[in-house]
Amino acid sequence: MLAGKRIVLGITGGIAAYKAVDLCRRLVDAGAHVVPVMTAGAEHFLGRTTLSALASEPVQTSLWNEASPIPHTRLGQSADLIVVAPATARLLAAYAAGLSSDLLTNTLLATRAPVVVCPAMHTEMWEHPAVQANIATLRSRGVHIVEPEAGRLAGGDTGTGRLAAPERILAAIVRVLSGGDLAGTHVVVSAGGTREPIDAVRVIANRSSGKQGYAIAAEASARGAQVTLVSTVDLAVPFGVTVLAVETAAQMEAALTGLAPAADVVVMAAAVADFRPVAAVPGKIKKDQGVPQIVLEPTPDILAGLGATKPAGQVLVGFAAETSDLLVHAAAKLQRKHLDLIVANDVAAPGVGFQHDTNAVTLLGADGTTRTVALADKRAIAKAVLDTVVEIRGRDQPPHPPLPTS
């Protein structure tokens, strides 16, 4: 994933510095050559020995005590990427202002490599206009910002400011360095099961967790796509993904109908309810009123609608969750709804589909190709799906015009 990439890992003086240990390990495991650079403040929270043992080189801290007479230029010029995690308000201010007071800030100014900055601080500091102005300045210069998450902070209070999870930072680094075979494309993904109200309390729902849709969104983002995720569930948002929250089939239809015409790829991973009450009861149906008579009607067939209006060149992917005759039902759905690819899974099989972190699928293409992916984690399934999407896009691209002859 990051094999052979030289990454400078900058650590500044915040309580979240301990998370840099996990990030360092993940980077090394992904094949990167990691060079840690710590500020004086970082050493109050983290010892050099720990990072030196995990990284590819010993920790560097000073402009003056290193083997190289100009360590900042050596680090900056040789880096494929620099990541600062955590980045304090002080680091953000110094970097935005072009101040070079230590090895890390000098290295940041001496590089032309991409830079990923991961702020971490208390909510009041993060929301301060000066900090937000510095973030805006850095963004305008092309610096990639992995924004902090909401949660419990040092001191026991709760708010936005917690350092992004190491896996999210890693995903951001992979995306920045990969370029990606989906770069320049807009991918729309749906995820989760819709909920159709019976009354103010009860709904008709299904067992979809949304995990497979989120995995596809994360994989598409890592491959360089602009990703919009239409979701009914509240899961951690993958880096670089824009989420549009919906609940009902009607809301999902409206969202996808608006997004699909301009999308290069649409992946309909959501489990949309097939039926809904004709009318939801206002308020709560009381038990002492007896068993209610609930009249159902079909929900809109969103996927069929997308297939009927699919613009030229767009790749449309559907899912078929079945409990019997998997390939027969999937092939019929593929043809009936004018799809380019359908992802079929037997949700009655152990470890497959709803609520699980794993899946096993068969991919059926409109050209008759079939690919089976054995039980694997949902990110691996997402990779297989998008590998096939890239192949379809490659086949559908118009041939290059012949070179002019003299």
Q: pLDDT digits over 274-310, tens only? A: 999 999 999 999 999 899 899 999 999 999 999 999 9
Structural domain contains residue 403 = no
In whole angstroms, give the CA distance from residue 398 to residue 209. Answer: 38
Q: Do the Cβ atoms of 193 and 276 come closer than 8 Å?
A: no
In a shared domain, residues 157 and 212: no
CATH number at residue 137: 3.40.50.1950
- The predicted pLDDT at position 260 comes to 98
In a shared domain, residues 138 and 242: no
In whole angstroms, give the CA distance from residue 203 to residue 248. Answer: 10
**Residues paired with residue 149 on neighbouring β-strands, in sequence order:** 162
In a shared domain, residues 168 and 216: no
In a shared domain, residues 168 and 227: no
Structural domain contains residue 39 = yes
- The predicted pLDDT at position 231 comes to 98
Structural domain contains residue 57 = yes
pLDDT digits (tens, 9 = 90+) for 158-176: 999 999 999 999 988 988 8
CATH number at residue 239: 3.40.50.10300
Write down which residue in 133, 157, 178 finishes a domain: 178
Going by C-beta distance under 8 Å and a sequence separation of 6 or more, which residues neighbour residue 390? 181, 182
Give first-to-last CA distance, the chain, whole Å.
44
Q: Looking at the 3D structure of the chain, how many domains does it have? A: 2
pLDDT average, residue stretch 130-146: 92
Structural domain contains residue 406 = no
Structural domain contains residue 402 = no
Structural domain contains residue 404 = no
> Is 134 one of the catalytic residues?
no
pLDDT digits (tens, 9 = 90+) for 192-201: 999 999 999 9
In a shared domain, residues 198 and 292: yes
**Domain that includes residue 225, residue range:** 186-396
In a shared domain, residues 170 and 206: no
In whole angstroms, give the CA distance from residue 38 to residue 21. Answer: 12
In a shared domain, residues 168 and 218: no
- The predicted pLDDT at position 403 comes to 43
Number of Cβ within a 10 Å radius of residue 26: 18
Write down which residue in 178, 203, 224 finishes a domain: 178
Joined together, the tokens standing for residue 382 give: 């997402």
Q: Do the Cβ atoms of 34 and 24 come closer than 8 Å?
A: yes
In a shared domain, residues 218 and 170: no
Structural domain contains residue 214 = yes
Q: Which of 65, 106, 134, 206 is catalytic?
A: 206
In the chain, % of residues over pLDDT 70:
97
Distances (CA, A) of 4 to 111, 114, 164, 173, 185: 18, 16, 25, 14, 27
Write down which residue in 133, 150, 178 finishes a domain: 178
Structural domain contains residue 276 = yes
Number of Cβ within a 10 Å radius of residue 262: 11
